[in-house]
Structures are given as structure tokens and as C-alpha cells.
Structure 1
Amino acid sequence: MQARLKKIGDNTNIKEMKPVSGGDINQAFYVRTETREYFVKKNQDVPADFFQKEAEGLEHIRRTNTIRVPKVYSYDNVSFGEEKYLIMEWIEGEKSKATGHLLGEQLAQLHLTETSPQYGMHGSTFVGEITQPNDFYDDWLTYYREKRLQPQLEIGINKGTITMERREHFEKLLQRIDQYIPKYPRVSLLHGDLWGGNWITGHNGLPYLIDPSIVYGDHAFEIAFTELFGGFPSDFYKSYQHFYPLPDYYDEIKPLYQLFYLLLHLNLFGESYGASVDHILRRYT
């Protein structure tokens, strides 16, 4: 670790290094030198570009000047099975009365500020440890069907989590999904994996986004996921709606947007998510 820090220009001694909670995927550490504090992730059982994609996503968001993200100092891009490190600045702070409001306002500004002529993203990204295939499409409906739902159906069939009855409902949904998902919503840059564990609080209660899986798409897709597992204060939603109101169709299609993340969890963790998936499939078929 000392050698890695020297490569990024910190030649001072390490004063403290301890493991911290950093999710289920990576080992994570707090590192303090004589001059700076770091958050370090380590993994060897992930693809070569795993940390690179995270770093690129953070940089993409940072360049919008809308919402804060941790600074990335370095990352490794080495083969599967080799140790890889991601070194970032350490973010720590207490929530204030303004934190939820700022999170809503600044996320809305991200969605309003950064746009694209097409939907999707170039190259694969990662949602958690799952590879997310991407490409650019002229309409959001085709991207969502072919790059979000269809791959999870195929994974589920191969893993046995998509049973025959579930598969029948799923295939019916894919045939009629154009009745629900808009083709041409306003294009926004999305964090792409925004659950309650992927935002943190820094100095003076300022919100930061972490662990992105960026994609250009419908901002309603992002907000739908924030409602799935909780972790967001009520003033976050009030603030967001003030700066960027959700579309009239939001309540009708929210379950369809949440379906992607439920399918991903079903394929990762098993049948505990099956009932939620089935409820949505039956509702729309």
C-alpha cells in the first residue's frame, strides 16, 4: 500500500490502516497517512476493468458540476485473478437538516444538465458485480427491453430462477411493453444504481454519490429504484420534484422500472425476490 500511495504522490508514512464496511463485493479499507485519508477497495475476483468503469462513472458525474462524488486517485486494470485496487478520497460527515433537500436538488440538476442524443451507454458497465451490457439506441423503449429486461430473462432461464410460468408472463410482458415504456423521454445521465447505500454524507452534510453504473435514460427509472429498498429521506423527493417533476406516467410504470432491479436480485440471491417479480409480471400481463 505504501508503494501504491507513493505512485500517486503521497510519500508520507501510513499512520493507520483498518478494514471498513464497503459492500459485499470488495474488501475495503480506511488508510490514513501523515497528509491525507483514503478509502481503498481491493478485489481480485472481478473483471479487469471493474474498477476502471467505476472510476470513469464517477469522473463523468464529477464533470457535470452538479453533485459531488469522491475523488479517484488511482485504479488497477489487470486480469481476473490478479489483485486490483481502487484508491479514492475518504468522505465522512454527519447529515444535516439540509442533506436530503440538497440530494434531491443536486440529483435533479444532474438529470437536467447532462444529456445525450441517444439512450444507453457505450460499452458494458457493472450493476454491483453483474456485467451490464450496453449500447446506444435511438429510443429508450428498445434499450430497456433489449439491454435491461431481455438479458435478465436469459440469465434467469440459465440459472433456473425463471420458471416456466414466470417465463410465460415475462415473454408476454416483452411483447406488450411498448404499451407502457415511453420511447422518447427526455434523456438524462443517470447514476444507474442509486439505492440507499450508494449515497453518503460528507463534510457539512453535503451529499455524495458513489458506486455508479451510469447510463443515459429516463429519469423516472432512477427515481423508481430509490423507492424500492428505501434509504432516502422524504425531503429528498420533495426537493427533486420541485426542480424536476416526474412525468405523469410515473406511478403507472414505476413497477416496470423496479422490475429490472428485482430480476437482478432474483438472479443473484434467489427466490426471496420471486414473489415481488411475479406480482409485477402478473399486473402487466
Structure 2
Amino acid sequence: MSEIEQFITSELERLGLCTSVKNTQTLGGGCISQAALYATDNGDYFVKTNSDPQAKDWFAAESLALARINQAVPGFAPKPIHNHTRDRAYIVTEYVCMAKPNTSKTQKELGRLLVKLHTARPPPSDKDKFGFDVTSWCGTTTLDNSWTSDWLQFYKSQRLEPLLDQVKDQNKDVDRLGASLCARLEHWLGKDALGEVHPSLLHGDLWNGNMAARASDKSPLIYDPASFYGHYETEFGIMKMFGGFTQDCFDAYDDALINNTELELVDEGRQDRAIIYEAYHHLNHYAMFGGSYSSGFIDLIERLL
């Protein structure tokens, strides 16, 4: 047993989650943290660890996001059990056996549950504001979640502009198109275009690697959130970027949305907003990984402008 496995084993026992660990299994899929299954005499646990000094804050934000998702839609995400904020950072959640979410039934249910998630509103103290209780992260990108009452200003100054500043002078086309987009953003995200936007609870990083089906009943499961309260259409940016979500999912979402009085479907300009929200994730990946992700941002914004 490795040193980190010994540490986590002692922590699970200290927390009263088990009296002994039977075995551990390293799990793949993550590129930032290390994940493992801990099989114990009191059930199985999923544990993520990371030695980065900021990891304690990553895991605190993730734990809160998972709790909020489950509060809005019980069982839609793994239940958070504990996150450790001292010395070695880790997060413990329930372990869920997963399967590929490739059935029509799973995709349709995913669309319906996303609408239910998006009807969840901020805490009463921050009603009708965009942001989150704590700073969160999309990959390794810090998200400024300071509460703001205007969606246009939130998305411009707390999402797009920080990323554009981060990659400034690395690609002249990204700089030029990013500046043009921000200058004209009111055309697509202002109140004249969108009306009154009500903040929705978002997963925030819902690409196909962050969703699955429960092996037991094929119900959809989402995890590794970068949650905040924002315009519900924002969710689809990264869903469209990497694919893996079928038309069944999007059709079921729209059907449920139309029948939900708390969310408004604004058809006019929807495709343009989808481009803006997807372009953000290309820009974020360019900031994190560089390379060809710049071309994705450039192609999308040139199509828009």
C-alpha cells in the first residue's frame, strides 16, 4: 500500500466511515487529480487527492457544488461525504458503478433532469444574482464567482475578459476577435436581446467525460462540477464542443423547458448565444493547454462577427 493509500485509509477510519479498507483501485479519466476506489467493510468510497496547494479549495468548491446539485435533483450527482482542507487535500464521495450513457432513455432523462437542475435558484441572501458562494474552477481556471445582478456584466467581466487577459499577446487573432466580441456582447446578452435572465444552478463543465449512466438503472449521473448560478444556456457550450450528447437529450430538454414556467425559451438569437458560450470553452482550453484550441475560438467568433 502506497503512502497516500495509507493516509486515506487512516482518514476513512478516523472519520468513522469504516473500520478497515479491503482493497483500493486506481481509477483513470482525470488529468488534474488522482482518483481511486476504496472498498471497505462499510461500502465503497470514491476518493480524489491532489498535492497542489490550491486543491483544498478545489475540493471544497466541488463538495458544495455536488451538494447543491443533489439538493436540486436528488441522485443526479454522487453524494459528497467529506472534503479535507488541511495538509493533504482530498474529497470523499459515494462510489457509483457507471455505464456509458448511450441509450435514448438515458439521454432523454438527462435533458429532463438538466431542466430541473436549472430551475434551482441562488440562496435567499443572494436571490436573483449570478455567481456562487465560493470561488470555483473550470479545469485549472479560477472562476470569479462574486455575486453580480447583471448577466451581461457578469459574463463579460468575470468570464470572458479574465481569460482574454490570461492569453493576451499569444495570438493576435484571439486578441482582436476577443476585444470585438466583448465590445459587442450587449447585442447578444443584453436585456434587449434576452429579457430578464434569472440565475440557474449550472454544472458548469458538462462535457461527455463528466457524465455517465448509473450501471444499476441507466439513470444519468453528472460529476466533477464547476458550478455557479448563470444563464441556463451557458450549460450547452461545452456540451456542444466535445459532443457525446444526442439530439434526444436536447429535444427532451426543450420539451421540458417549454412546459416549465420558471424558465423562458428565447428562440431569437439562441444559435448565436450557443456560439458565444461554446467559444468560451475553446478559449479556456487554449488558456490551459495552448495549441490548436485557439483555432476553435477564432473560427466560432469569425462566424458570429
- TM-score of the alignment, normalized to the shorter chain, above 0.5: yes
1:243 and 1:182, CA in 2 relative to 1: closer, same or farther beyond 3 A?
farther
1:258 and 1:46, CA in 2 relative to 1: closer, same or farther beyond 3 A?
farther
State which drifts further: 239-248 or 260-269.
239-248
2:187 maps to which of 175, 179, 188: 179
1:22 and 1:84, CA in 2 relative to 1: closer, same or farther beyond 3 A?
farther
Distance 2:257 2:13 in 1: 44
Please list every run of at least 4 consecutive aligned residues from structure 1 whose deviation after the TM superposition is greater than 4 angstroms. Answer: none
**Counterpart position of 1:104:** 111
Query: What is the CA-CA distance between 1:24 and the residue it aligns to?
Result: 0.1
TM-score normalised according to structure 1 size: 0.91
Supply the RMSD in Å over aligned alpha carbons: 1.8
The amino acid across from 1:87 in the alignment is: V
Query: What is the CA-CA distance between 1:186 and the residue it aligns to?
Result: 3.1
**Counterpart position of 2:5:** none
Verify the 8 A CA contact 2:286 2:294 in the aligned structure 1: yes
Query: What is the CA-CA distance between 1:40 and the residue it aligns to?
Result: 0.8
Verify the 8 A CA contact 2:22 2:40 in the aligned structure 1: yes
Distance 1:193 1:278 in 2: 21
Verify the 8 A CA contact 1:67 1:110 in the aligned structure 2: no
1:100 and 1:145, CA in 2 relative to 1: closer, same or farther beyond 3 A?
same
Distance 1:124 1:74 in 2: 18
Query: What is the CA-CA distance between 1:90 and the residue it aligns to?
Result: 0.6
Verify the 8 A CA contact 2:128 2:198 in the aligned structure 1: no
Distance 1:125 1:152 in 2: 15
Query: What is the CA-CA distance between 1:114 and the residue it aligns to?
Result: 3.1
**Counterpart position of 1:84:** 89
The amino acid across from 1:111 in the alignment is: H
Matched, 1:213 2:223: no
- SS of residue matched to 2:119: helix
Matched, 1:65 2:73: yes
**Counterpart position of 1:198:** 210
Verify the 8 A CA contact 2:236 2:278 in the aligned structure 1: no
In structure 1, the gaps of 5 or more residues are none
**Counterpart position of 1:278:** 298
CA deviation vs aligned residue, 1:32-85 (integer Å, no higher than 9, x gap)? 01220111111011413111110011111111135521112211113xxx4211
- SS of residue matched to 1:141: helix
Distance 1:112 1:130 in 2: 26
Distance 2:50 2:89 in 1: 5
1:247 maps to which of 262, 266, 271: 266
Match runs of 1:39-188 below 5 Å: 39-47=46-54, 48-65=56-73, 68-78=76-86, 82-94=87-99, 95=101, 97-114=104-121, 116-157=127-168, 160-161=169-170, 163-183=171-191, 184-188=196-200
Verify the 8 A CA contact 1:16 1:33 in the aligned structure 2: yes
2:19 maps to which of 5, 12, 35: 12
1:51 and 1:113, CA in 2 relative to 1: closer, same or farther beyond 3 A?
closer
In structure 2, the gaps of 5 or more residues are 1-7, 259-264
Distance 1:16 1:57 in 2: 29
CA deviation vs aligned residue, 1:152-193 (integer Å, no higher than 9, x gap)? 011001xx43x2343122212211111111443232111111
- SS of residue matched to 2:142: strand
Query: What is the CA-CA distance between 1:211 and the residue it aligns to?
Result: 1.1
1:113 and 1:57, CA in 2 relative to 1: closer, same or farther beyond 3 A?
closer
Distance 1:275 1:11 in 2: 50
The amino acid across from 2:183 in the alignment is: Q
1:136 and 1:10, CA in 2 relative to 1: closer, same or farther beyond 3 A?
closer
Verify the 8 A CA contact 2:275 2:304 in the aligned structure 1: no
Distance 1:182 1:66 in 2: 33
2:241 maps to which of 228, 234, 252: 228
Distance 2:162 2:231 in 1: 19
CA deviation vs aligned residue, 1:216-265 (integer Å, no higher than 9, x gap)? 11111112321110121332112111101442121122111111111100
The amino acid across from 2:248 in the alignment is: D
Between the two proteins, the alignment pairs up a number of residues equal to 279
TM-score normalised according to structure 2 size: 0.85
2:278 maps to which of 258, 261, 273: 258
